[in-house]
């Protein structure tokens, strides 16, 4: 039992550790690697959910109560259960954001940037721009602000690449405003807010990105609406997990407090 617990804890750490390592590899030079890494992340999370957690449940039931192994299993299980359960909730919420329709009155659309490759719009960013285009067709008096600066020694900013994509898909250049300084989501919203004076603004971003972006907007006092685009399946695992971990990073005290509270309740009930 003790060895099974150690092995299971190791597998748990590897599942999350390898996934985080894959997330940190931001720039892949082939779509084959992108698909492979996302599939690996999906399999690791599936192993965690279908194998690791059930084994932990078995161990907590059969290990000697209050032993070191039992306490170790309880701590790791609690952290893993909270992390996995909240990830599932986050994925469900993100998918549900696709149901939100564009408001009846819009003066500005803000499309949040994402990394571009060799001056080309990657698939995840393309879905955001396509969503903005579809929304703009019913609000053609609105402006489209594209936000994103120059990252990773690129020659052109994300905003300029996004603007070229919009023009190529029929959006008049006079309707596009480029914000070319932002390097992250917070800056996207902060810098764009200096260009936008109307509260009738719709932020367009990916489904996995809505919760974090909307949280930032509320902190800035921006009462903007959000609509989301559907993320291509082959990009879902790592993009969803990355933004989920970003939310935990931003609200680590909530996660730590919830973990300690749950541990306390479990010890009392035991």
Identify the helix (H) or strand (E) that includes residue 48. none
pLDDT at 162: 97
CB atoms within 10 A of CB 170: 9
Distances in Å between the Cα of 245 and the Cα atoms of 83, 165, 260 are 9, 30, 19
Name every residue whose Cβ is closer than 8 Å to that of residue 177 and which is 6 or more positions away in sequence: 143, 144, 145, 146, 195
Report the pLDDT value the prediction gives residue 263, as an integer from 0 to 100.
86
pLDDT of residue 27: 67
Dihedral sign, Cα of residue 49, residue 54, residue 56, residue 60 = positive
Rounded to whole angstroms, the Cα distance separating 141 from 144 reads 10
At residue 119 the predicted structure's pLDDT band, cuts being 50, 70 and 90, is confident
Asked whether 143 and 108 are in contact (CB, 8 A), the reply is yes
**Per-domain residue ranges for the chain?**
2-97+245-269, 103-231
Nearest-angstrom CA–CA distance, 2 and 54: 16
Cβ–Cβ < 8 Å for 28, 37: yes
pLDDT of residue 116: 86
Q: How confident is the model over 134-148, as a mean pLDDT?
A: 95
For Cα atoms 128, 134, 140, give the angle at the middle one, nearest 5 degrees.
120
- Whether the pLDDT of residue 226 is over 80: the answer is yes
Question: Average pLDDT, stretch 62-67?
Answer: 86
Over the stretch 77-118, which tens digit does the pLDDT of each residue have? 999 999 999 999 999 999 999 999 999 999 999 999 988 887
What's the rounded mean pLDDT across residues 195-219?
94
Predicted pLDDT of residue 155: 83
Tokens of 25: 């590899």
Across 65-69, 170-174, 185-189, 232-236, least confident range: 65-69
Strand order through the sheet with 176-179:
176-179, 143-147, 108-112, 201-206, 225-229
Q: Average pLDDT, whole number, for the chain?
A: 93
Residue-wise DSSP of 222-262? ---EEEEEPPPGGGHHHHHHHHHHHHHHHTHHHHHHHHHHH
> What does DSSP assign to residue 122?
-
User: Percentage of the chain with pLDDT > 90?
Assistant: 81
Amino acid 158: pLDDT: 95
Distances (CA, A) of 88 to 40, 63, 95, 154, 232: 18, 28, 11, 35, 18
Q: What is the pTM of this model?
A: 0.92
Tell me which residue has tokens 């939310």.
247
What's residue 199's pLDDT? 84
pLDDT at residue number 28: 67
The CATH number of the domain covering residues in 103-231 = 3.40.50.620
């Amino acid at each position: 039992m003790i060895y099974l617990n150690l092995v299971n804890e190791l597998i748990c750490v590897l599942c999350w550790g390898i996934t985080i390592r894959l997330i940190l590899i931001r720039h892949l030079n082939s779509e084959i690697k992108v698909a492979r890494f996302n599939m690996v992340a999906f399999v690791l999370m599936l192993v965690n959910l279908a194998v690791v957690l059930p084994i932990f449940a078995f161990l907590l039931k059969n290990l000697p109560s209050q032993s070191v192994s039992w306490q170790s299993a309880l701590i790791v299980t609690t952290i893993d259960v909270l992390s996995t359960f909240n990830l599932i909730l986050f994925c469900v919420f993100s998918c549900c954001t696709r149901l939100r329709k564009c408001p009846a009155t819009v003066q500005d659309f803000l499309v949040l940037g994402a990394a571009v490759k060799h001056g080309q719009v990657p698939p995840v960013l393309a879905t955001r721009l396509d969503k903005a285009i579809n929304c703009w067709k019913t609000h053609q008096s609105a402006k489209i602000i594209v936000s994103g600066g120059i990252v990773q020694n690129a020659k052109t900013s994300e905003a300029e690449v996004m603007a070229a994509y919009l023009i190529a898909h029929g959006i008049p250049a006079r309707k596009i405003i480029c914000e070319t300084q932002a390097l992250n989501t917070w800056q996207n919203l902060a810098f764009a807010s200096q260009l936008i004076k109307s509260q009738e603004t719709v932020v367009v971003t990916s489904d996995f990105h809505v919760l974090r972006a909307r949280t930032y907007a509320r902190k800035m006092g921006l009462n903007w609406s959000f609509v989301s685009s559907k993320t291509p399946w082959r990009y879902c695992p790592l993009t969803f997990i990355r933004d989920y971990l970003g939310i935990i990073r931003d609200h680590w005290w909530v996660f730590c407090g919830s973990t300690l509270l749950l541990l306390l309740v479990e010890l009392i009930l035991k």
